[in-house]
Chains A and B, each alone.
Chain A
Amino acid sequence: MSSNLSPQSPMRPLSVGNVVSSALVLYRSHLKLYLGLALKALLWWFVPVYGWAKASMISAQISRLAFSELVNQPETSKNVESQLNSRMWSFLGARILVGLILFGVNIGISILSAFVVFIPALLITSVFRDSSASGLLSSLLQLVVQLASLAAQLWFQARFFITDLPLAIENNVDATTTISRSWELTKGSGVRIQLILLLAYLITMPLVIIAFIPAVVLLIPFFASSPSQDAIVSFVSLVIFLVIVLAVLAGIFIMPFWQSIKAVIYYDLRSRREGLGLQLGDGREY
């Protein structure tokens, strides 16, 4: 199994950077297949409900294909699709559930942080008569609390990042158990996943920026020529349309990368938490 995944030892867990690198290698070596699937998923998003389930399934399909490469048991896209088709609605269900959970968590964190800011702020203003000192202290406190609540929200997002993977790869998993299963797998790895996501954002940034370059290139000479009011409105709306089209295009390119990242994280967690691939010798039967 995956004897050349980790250079030092076939069974060793991957470092943060190596997760991102291997996801990119996976994506690059299956570029056509994954891009085709991403395009299909995008088109399905335009069909309400049924299409959303289909699109969720197709994204998970990419992760499953990537995972099958990681464990050295490659599957065909058709084969995977026929297996996942019956679980299509569970993918949508899991997606909605995760959305609701994260929504609730974020509201909870906001309420909590509001209290944390509000009560000390009252104390500070009562202790310090000098308004400028208390103002400075309260805004400092507010900044710290806001950063902390942002970190907490991102941490929860990281813990729910791979929720569609157990459903796509394991058997006898449904929309709710896939969430609890991924919660269990990611236990103790929240910060590491956050780091992986940060690195992945950094690496996808060039693509996003390239998507916005045409808009900038068009806008600067246009405004330099001091156009009329009407011309500005029509031209700017044209450029906004262009930017949206380019952003969607960039999204098609980026989505398979994220799905590959999920596959590598899932693989890595399975090997860390469950010793996936850890076996005697070359796996010979006794």
Chain B
Amino acid sequence: MRFFNRVTLQTPESVELEFTLAGIGNRAFAVLIDYIVLSLTLTMFWIVWGILSIQIVNSFDNVNNIGLWLLAIALLLNFFVYVGYFVFFEVIWQGQTPGKRYAKIRVIRDDGRRVSIQQATLRALLRPIDDTLFIGAFLIILGSREKRLGDIVAGTIVIQEEYVVAALNFPISQQAQKLATDLPQMANLSLLLPDDFAAIREYLQRRGEMTSKARSELSLKMARQVRSAIDLANLPEGLTADVFLEAVYLAYQQQSSTS
């Protein structure tokens, strides 16, 4: 079963790119953050403007309707801040606002290029309409390309950032480093598939978050599988499953980088 909509795009240079669409959850998350930031900014603006207005009205009380004019200007500025927030960030951060950056999503054009000021403005101008009665949310949930009105008009889609694999800075013990140098002679590491290597790396990266019981069971199971996969006859004494997996990880990495 498919959990995420994907799109394949043809860039003007005829390169095919595949993207995972953002999904309603990420988009709701992004807009929530953006609206919190925006409403804080606008509240500050109205407080400052209010204090200034009182002073101005008091000192220019001979001018007709000055309060009304100040209110009108404030409403206009309010609108510019609202639209400008999205346009400014989407243009300078290549399709991301603070909320989108946090939710790890990005707006791009239908052909994969980055959004320019036109698309960003169209999206921002249509945002209030999309928010009315949650029209945009329904369109995102029901459409296969997850486009709200702003996206349809501007010709944009919202995709998930293909975030880079986390830095491989998990600790590797001394014992494992020593074993890793001997391992290529003891076993046939080339029997290990790249997928197996990826699973070992994934385990080593994520083991810190796991419960100790699950961790010991899982590492034992994986170590046994690896051991029979690489035809390793006898293991050195007093070796834990974790150390063994670390050693295999290191040895495999060194082998594939030298060959």
Chain A residues with a Cβ under 8 A of chain B: 4-5, 7-9, 11-13, 15-22, 24-26, 28-29, 69, 72, 184, 188, 195, 198-199, 202-203, 205-206, 209, 272-275, 278-282, 286
The residue among A11, A195, A278, A282 with the most chain B CB atoms within 10 A of its own CB is A278
**Chain B window 9-34, contacts with chain A (Cβ cutoff 8 Å), 1 for yes, 0 for no:** 00000000000101111111110100
Instruction: Indicate which residue in A202, A209, A280 contacts B196 across the interface (CB closer than 8 Å).
Output: A280
A39–chain B nearest beta-carbon distance, Å: 22
Compute how far the CA of A274 lies from the CA of B215 in the bound complex, rounded to whole angstroms.
7
Additional pairs, 20, CB under 8 Å, beyond known A8-B165, A22-B3 = A11-B199, A11-B202, A12-B202, A17-B30, A18-B4, A20-B24, A22-B23, A22-B25, A26-B1, A29-B1, A203-B25, A206-B138, A272-B210, A278-B199, A278-B203, A280-B199, A280-B200, A280-B229, A286-B225, A286-B229
Partner of B28 from the list A13, A15, A188, A203 (CB cut-off 8 Å) is: A203
**With contact pairs A18-B25, A203-B24, A280-B222 given, residues A273 and B209 touching in the complex (Cβ less than 8 Å):** yes
Residue of A nearest to B203 (CB): A278
Q: Which residues of chain B come closer than 8 Å to A72, judged between CB atoms?
A: 1
Judged by a CB distance under 8 angstroms, whether B179 is at the interface is no
- Which single member of A21, A282, A286 contacts B26 (CB below 8 Å)? A21
B217-256 near A? 1/0 per residue, CB < 8 Å = 0100110111011000000000000000000000000000
Query: Which B residues lie within 8 Å of A4 (CB)?
Result: 1-4
Nearest B residue to A8, CB-CB: B162
Is B169 engaged at the interface, CB distance under 8 Å to the other chain?
Answer: no
16 A-B pairs with CB atoms under 8 Å apart are: A7-B162, A8-B162, A8-B165, A9-B202, A11-B199, A11-B202, A16-B29, A16-B103, A22-B25, A25-B2, A25-B4, A26-B1, A203-B28, A273-B209, A279-B225, A280-B199
Interface 1/0 per residue, B135-153 and A, CB below 8 Å: 0011001000000000000
43-65 of chain B: CB within 8 A of chain A: none
Contact B211 A274 (CB under 8 A): yes
Which residues of chain B have C-beta atoms less than 8 A from A202's C-beta? 28, 32
Chain B hits for A205, CB < 8 A: 134
Q: Which of B25, B162, B193, B229 has the most CB of A within 10 A?
A: B25
Question: By the criterion CB–CB under 8 Å, are B25 and A20 in contact?
Answer: yes
User: Quick check: is B206 within 8 A (CB to CB) of the other chain?
Assistant: yes
Which of A15, A203, A272 lies in contact with B137, CB distance below 8 A? A203
Asked if A18 contacts B228 (CB within 8 A), the reply is no
Q: How far is the CB of A94 from chain B (nearest CB, A)?
A: 21
Closest to B224 in A: A286
Please tell me if B214 contacts chain A, counting CB pairs below 8 Å: yes
Q: B141 contacts which chain A residues (CB < 8 A)?
A: 24, 28
Task: Assess the B2–A278 pair: CB atoms within 8 A.
Answer: no
Asked if B6 is an interface residue, CB under 8 A from chain A, the answer is yes
Which residues of A sit under 8 angstroms from B165, Cβ to Cβ?
A: 8-9
Question: Which B residue sits closest to A206, measured CB to CB?
Answer: B134
Q: Are A21 and B23 in contact (CB under 8 A)?
A: yes
**A281–B193 touching, CB < 8 Å:** yes
Q: Residue B109 at the A interface, CB < 8 A?
A: no
With both chains docked as a complex, state the minimum distance between the C-beta of A172 and any C-beta of chain B, in angstroms.
15
By the criterion CB–CB under 8 Å, are A7 and B218 in contact? Answer: no
Docked Cα-Cα span, A20 to B200, in Å, equals 28
Q: Give the distance in Å from the alpha carbon of A12 to the alpha carbon of B20 in the complex.
A: 15
B160 beta carbon closer than 8 Å to chain A? yes
Closest to B219 in A: A275
Also in contact, A275 and B20, with CB within 8 A (given A7-B6, A286-B228): no
**Are B199 and A5 within 8 A (Cβ)?**
no
Tell me which residues across on chain B come within 8 A of A11, comparing CB atoms: 199, 202
Q: Which residue of B lies closest to A184 (CB)?
A: B211
Cβ B25 vs Cβ A21 within 8 A: yes
